[in-house]
Every structure is written in structure tokens, then in C-alpha cells.
Structure 1
């Protein structure tokens, strides 16, 4: 039995701790704030194997740069002199081509498909009440032009990734989801997707881990590694372990020097609004594709979220972004006038190739990195935890880790 410290108490760190604990190891989980907070709490809760395509699609860089002066744009880059951001965008632009998109898509799909299966296994084996539902994910379109244009994406996903969607046009769309407004052009349903309430998942992980002997240390920041990597210096003193797993999400670049690498993560700020379920509530999770806004109906609430804001490590709430979410949703649904329970933001850990890092630190052989999951941390958490547990237990990982190597940067 090894003594292992997981740095980062988000969903990826929690999943790593869970699978390592199943292998019989002794676990401590550290978080600079609180376990299950930050990006793992207020996201839209999608577990979406349909999201195989990376952000680096042909033409994506043109869209990104065109949004620099549009504060309400779904994809917004705050104009500023930041050489790390501009370097990231340059590398991103180089990958906005068909070849790189397809290669990354297949590598992402391997993680998503495995993780979707692991969710079914996890929820069948463990006492986890996270409002899990397998109702699919419905992409909704206002205009006929946009609805039919999506046929190209559907053909790509069907022919290249075996990920077909079911089309619903006009009245058929309203029969499928009566909460939608009349007059919408149509939608495409991915039946294999699922959703859950993220904060409830994290509460369940906390209970399982601690009841089985794990220690959770909150408000504990990590300054670096000590000596040959046998210990870490933290705000609560030095901690020793046989292995360390760095699952620090968007904060990972602050440990780059300590890890002996240059992980190019930019924080992509996403927003959400949570409120009680409206009287006319959708039954299926929705993405309003023309506005890039998502809606998640949960047993205990209703969440509108999404958008992508590259504004650095800015801790303020951009009121324009929150207003955009509600205004965009009004095109598709009757306005939800219930009182808002929470306005939230989180930093997604965005890599310029849309793939995570699941690899050993180049500097310390006993330190592993599990970070950079972009917008898919919740979807990829179980498979990441499983892969880390396999690697630290000296077993061959069930997915090739080479595409997720830190050496690619």
C-alpha cells in the first residue's frame, strides 16, 4: 500500500483518489479552497460522449479573434498584452485544420467512451445520489439554415466517429420537448449522453472517500516539491508521500517550474445561473447552438450556463455574460422568472489542442499530472482516475497515454 497525496479537490482529483483508494492505497486530498468547489460545482453537469470534436475546428481561430471586441460573444477574448495568451492562440490557430481536428477527435473519443461506461459502473456499485439521468442531449436551432447546416456536423460525427444524432424538425421537436417555444426550426438528439448535478456528485465522492479512510485537507495551497519529490511544501506545513497526483485544473501552470514542464493552460471562464425548476421545465438537457448556451433540468433545480471568456485569472463576475445567458434562453424557452439561487463562474483548464495531460512529471518519477481537461472535466473524470490508478499500480493503462503526454508541448 502506497501513501498518495492528490493535489486538487475537483472532480478529476476526486476520481483519481477514488480509483487509487480502490487499489488499496492510503489517500490524502488537498485543495487550496474547498473540496468540490471551483469548476466542479456549478457547471452544467453534462456527461457527453457526443463532444468528440476539439475546439480546434477549421475556422475556429477566425471566430475567436473576431470576438475580441464583442463582450457578449459566446467566445470572448479580453484584449490585453499577455504573451502567454498570444502564444496559446498561435498554437491553437496552427491546429485549426481538418487533419489535427480528426486526430484529436479520435483521441478525445477514446477517453469519453471509456468514461461514459465507467459512470454506469460507478453509479451501479456505489451509493451515489447525484440526480443522474440518461436522457441524451438535444441541440436546438432557431433557423432552418442553421438546422440544416448542422447536417454536415452530423455526417462527420456519424461517418467518422460512429456518433449519429436523431433529427427532429418543426412539430416533431415540440413533441419531443414540449417546453420549447413553437416556431423553432429543429434539433438533433444525442441519445447516449447523460447529465447529473455536479455538487451532489462531489458530496458523494467526499463521503465515500472519507468513510474509507481518506483525509481531505482544505484551504491548503502547495508551494512546491521538496528535495527529490518525496514531500511538498504547503501553507499547512510539509507533507510526505510515496506518490503525488497533480489535479489542479486551471491552476496547474503555477506549478510548471516545480513539475519541470511548460503546460500551456489558459483559464476559460464559464458562467452559470441556478434557480428552482420553472413550471414549464424541459425534460431533456439542451444546447442552443446558435447562441452556445446550455440548459440543464435537474431534479432539484434548473441551470443555464456556458459561454467562454478568456480574461486571465479574473475573479470578478461579468454581468454582461450572465445577462447574455438569460436573454439567449428566451429565444427558445419561456422566461424563467423564479428567484436566482446562485450566480457562478469557474475557470476551465483550456489546452490549445483540446486534450488533457495524463502523464508522469518530467522532473519527478513519483509525480503524475492529471489536468487540462478543457470543458470535459466532468465527462472525463472517471477515465482519468482509472488511468492514473492503473499507471501507479504498474498495470498497463487501458487507453494509450501517448496522446496525452506532457512532452507534446
Structure 2
């Protein structure tokens, strides 16, 4: 493929924008299509962790039992709306199948590759845009109330150090106050990953959008795709809901939690479902934590974002539902109050919900369509989309251009399902 080939990227979230950014830097004429606004989906309200620490997928041995325990707990981090949904139950069966030691180890290695490459790319990118991105390298502190869970993590810590070379430090009891004095006394302790970082997701998307435009790329918002048109062994065009036909030499589908609906047309199965997450952002961060935190007992995350402050997480398998029940936001606040000695801001707050694109084996789909040689998929990054975006986008761009991949693409291939 020549360097000036036209490429349409469908989806303007963090994966789509990083893919377009890499393609534009390679000399391609890129058009990004988004049905809403750039970054308005799962990319906008997440906690902005750039976390090479998150190598382990959810499909760990024992995850099914632990998940049932969380669901049984009132206000637990995980909940599934009872309903007849063959897609959901099929996904859960696939997830359970992958909860074994071999798949867990393989997925961890593949996630590590994406996260390590992305962390390096963010370091270079942030060197030019640190202030715009609210980029901070204060690490990530996992905080525990449960002494048993805190002590149990020692085995995981040893494995992360030995197999992946990750740095992490143990802080027993009130020693966590040395890192983050806004935490309450008498916590069990915390594990700190000093090489993690964080940024403002909206600021990142704005900067990527600006640089794509500077490279000649075109951003088209409010442009929803209704159908894909495959002729022979090629995807020839896409049709918008407004009836417009758009053609290109190559296409990348970075449609997140809704990527599965294009699988049949592309001759593959993309078993991604939406894992609904929530966050609440406070306009005033005065007196709030300066270190990104995860309250491990509740699986609730905290991010300082310059002048603002965000609390987020939980996982609901509710289907394509965008509602924001006040009770879920209150659960986030309650966890913060249980862990922080400071009062939450009384300034204005913004509640948000979004769909994380969850794959049953914990790995994204990054690869070429079996049916259309010029169509590619980059979707399913789950809860590490922000952290793995640069490498996912680079790998997708390399496959489009026929360049030597900087990572082994085999673990992410579409044909694995």
C-alpha cells in the first residue's frame, strides 16, 4: 500500500484517534468518523490511568467465584442485570472458559507488551504536551482495608516483579500516609507502582484531534455508520445513517463496545460486550489526593486532574444502557468517604457513565478481516484502553500499511474466536 492511501477510521475514541494519529504521521490521508463527538464515549469519563501495572486480565483462575462474591455484596463493584440475553450468557461462558492458568499467563504477557510500548510512547508524547495533558508521574497506589487481601497481594507482587520487571513498593498500615496524607488512619496498607502515570483523558483526545488535523486528517463528528459494503474480497464503502456513501482504500473499525455488530459482515466473531462504568468529577480539587488511588476493597479509583478531581469505576453488565442511577454515583462517593480523611468537594460535580469494551479473554481484537483484506479491527481494550491506546493504534496502522509490526500481532488476531 502506498503512503498516500486513503484510510477511514470508524470511531473517535482513544483507540481510533491513536490509530489515526499513527496513520497520519505515516503520510496517509485519514478521515475519522464518529457518531457523536470525538472522545464522547468510554474515553471521556474514565480515570486516565496510564498503568503498565495492569498486566493481569479479569479472567484469572478463581475469577468466577470472586465475581459471584462481589455480586452478592450490596453495592459491590460488579453487578449483572437479570435478563434473558443470549449474547451476555455466551460471553460469560467464554469468560469462564478463559479463567485458567495458561490463558491467564498468555493474556498477561500480551497485555504487558501493549502497555509497555504505550507507556514509552506516552513518555515521548507527554514530553511535548505535559501541561496540556495534565500529565503526572506520581505512580498508582492500591489501598487496602482488608489485612488478608493486602497480605495476599504479596504473591502477585513477586510475580509482577519477576515475570514483567515491574517496580512496586509495599507500605504497611499508616505508612501509606507518607505517599498520600489525605488517606484515613488504620488502613491495612498499600502497594505503590511508581512507574504508572495519569493524565486528563479529554485533554489527550483534544491534543490528538489537533495533531491529526495538523497532519491533514479530517474529523467528521455526528456521522453514524449504518452499514458496510463488501464486494468480493474488499470493503468498498460505508454508508452513513444520513444515506452518504464513503469510500477509501482501507478501513479501521475502532468502535469499542459495539464492534461485535460488524463481525458477520467482516467474516469474523468479535465477542465484545459493554461493561458499564461510572465516574463523578468534581470541579474543585482543593485538599484532595495528589496521588492516583485504587480502593481495592471496593474497586473504586481516584484521579487528581489538575483543578478537578474524579472518582470512578464499578462494572455493570447491563447491555447498551446509558442511564446514570444516582445510587451508583453515591456508591463511588461512599467508598471515597470510607478511605479519605478529607471531605469531598461541595463544588459542582459531573456524573458520567460509559461502556468499556470487554473481551472474554482480556485481550483486544487487532487485526485484518478474514473476508475483506482492506478492513481492520482495533477494539476490545476493556479497562486499559487509555493505557494501551498508543501501541494498539501503532499496531493497527502497521497492519494497514503492511509494515513490520513492532509487536507480535498473533495474540490479538481476529480469528482466535
Q: TM-score range by the shorter chain?
A: over 0.9
Give 1:373's match in structure 2, choosing from 381, 394, 407: 381
- Residue 357 of structure 1 and its aligned partner are, at CA, apart by 0.5
Give 1:268's match in structure 2, choosing from 253, 267, 275: 275
Does residue 313 in structure 1 map to residue 320 in structure 2?
yes
| Alignment map for 1:232-381 (pairs within 5 Å) | 232-236=238-242, 237-333=244-340, 334-381=342-389
Structure 1 stretches of 4+ with a deviation exceeding 4 A read 66-71, 125-128
> Contact 1:65 / 1:77 at 8 angstroms: preserved in 2?
no
**Aligned equivalents of 1:100, 1:116: Cα separation in 2:** 24
Q: Which moved more, 1:127-136 or 1:358-367?
A: 127-136
What's the secondary structure of 1:376's corresponding residue? helix
Q: Which residue of 2 aligns with 1:43?
A: 46
What's the secondary structure of 1:49's corresponding residue? coil
| Alignment map for 1:379-398 (pairs within 5 Å) | 379-398=387-406
What's the secondary structure of 1:40's corresponding residue? coil
Does residue 117 in structure 1 map to residue 125 in structure 2?
no
**Aligned equivalents of 1:66, 1:139: Cα separation in 2:** 20
State the TM-score, normalized to the length of structure 2. Answer: 0.95
> Contact 2:280 / 2:311 at 8 angstroms: preserved in 1?
yes
| Alignment map for 1:48-63 (pairs within 5 Å) | 48-63=51-66
Listed one character per residue, the Cα deviations across residues 272-302 of structure 1 (whole Å, up to 9, x for unaligned) are: 0000344321111000001100000111210
Does residue 88 in structure 1 map to residue 96 in structure 2?
no
Q: Which residue of 2 aligns with 1:198?
A: 201
**Aligned equivalents of 1:256, 1:300: Cα separation in 2:** 42
- Residue 393 of structure 1 and its aligned partner are, at CA, apart by 2.1
**Aligned equivalents of 1:282, 1:123: Cα separation in 2:** 22
> Contact 1:359 / 1:368 at 8 angstroms: preserved in 2?
yes
**Aligned equivalents of 1:19, 1:172: Cα separation in 2:** 43
The alpha-carbon distance between structure 1 residues 27 and 126, as it changes in their structure 2 partners (threshold 3 A), is farther
- Residue 68 of structure 1 and its aligned partner are, at CA, apart by 4.6
The alpha-carbon distance between structure 1 residues 142 and 239, as it changes in their structure 2 partners (threshold 3 A), is same
**Aligned equivalents of 2:144, 2:277: Cα separation in 1:** 22
**Aligned equivalents of 1:341, 1:382: Cα separation in 2:** 30
Does residue 186 in structure 1 map to residue 189 in structure 2?
yes
What's the secondary structure of 1:375's corresponding residue? helix
**Aligned equivalents of 1:217, 1:71: Cα separation in 2:** 43
- Residue 127 of structure 1 and its aligned partner are, at CA, apart by 8.2
Question: Structure 2, unaligned stretches of length 5 or more?
Answer: none
Q: Which residue of 1 aligns with 2:408?
A: 400
**Aligned equivalents of 1:340, 1:288: Cα separation in 2:** 23
**Aligned equivalents of 1:299, 1:17: Cα separation in 2:** 27
> Contact 2:294 / 2:301 at 8 angstroms: preserved in 1?
yes
**Aligned equivalents of 1:321, 1:142: Cα separation in 2:** 21
What's the secondary structure of 2:60's corresponding residue? coil
What's the secondary structure of 1:270's corresponding residue? strand
> Contact 1:222 / 1:233 at 8 angstroms: preserved in 2?
yes
What's the secondary structure of 2:226's corresponding residue? strand
What's the secondary structure of 2:132's corresponding residue? coil
Question: Structure 1, unaligned stretches of length 5 or more?
Answer: none
| Alignment map for 1:142-161 (pairs within 5 Å) | 142-161=145-164
State the TM-score, normalized to the length of structure 1. Answer: 0.96
**Aligned equivalents of 2:129, 2:329: Cα separation in 1:** 36
CA RMSD of aligned residues (A): 1.5
**Aligned equivalents of 1:405, 1:46: Cα separation in 2:** 26
The alpha-carbon distance between structure 1 residues 304 and 126, as it changes in their structure 2 partners (threshold 3 A), is closer
- Residue 139 of structure 1 and its aligned partner are, at CA, apart by 0.4
What's the secondary structure of 2:124's corresponding residue? helix
Q: Which moved more, 1:279-288 or 1:238-247?
A: 279-288
Q: Which moved more, 1:121-130 or 1:39-48?
A: 121-130
Listed one character per residue, the Cα deviations across residues 110-153 of structure 1 (whole Å, up to 9, x for unaligned) are: 11001100111222356871101111000011132222122122
Listed one character per residue, the Cα deviations across residues 387-408 of structure 1 (whole Å, up to 9, x for unaligned) are: 1222222211011101001111
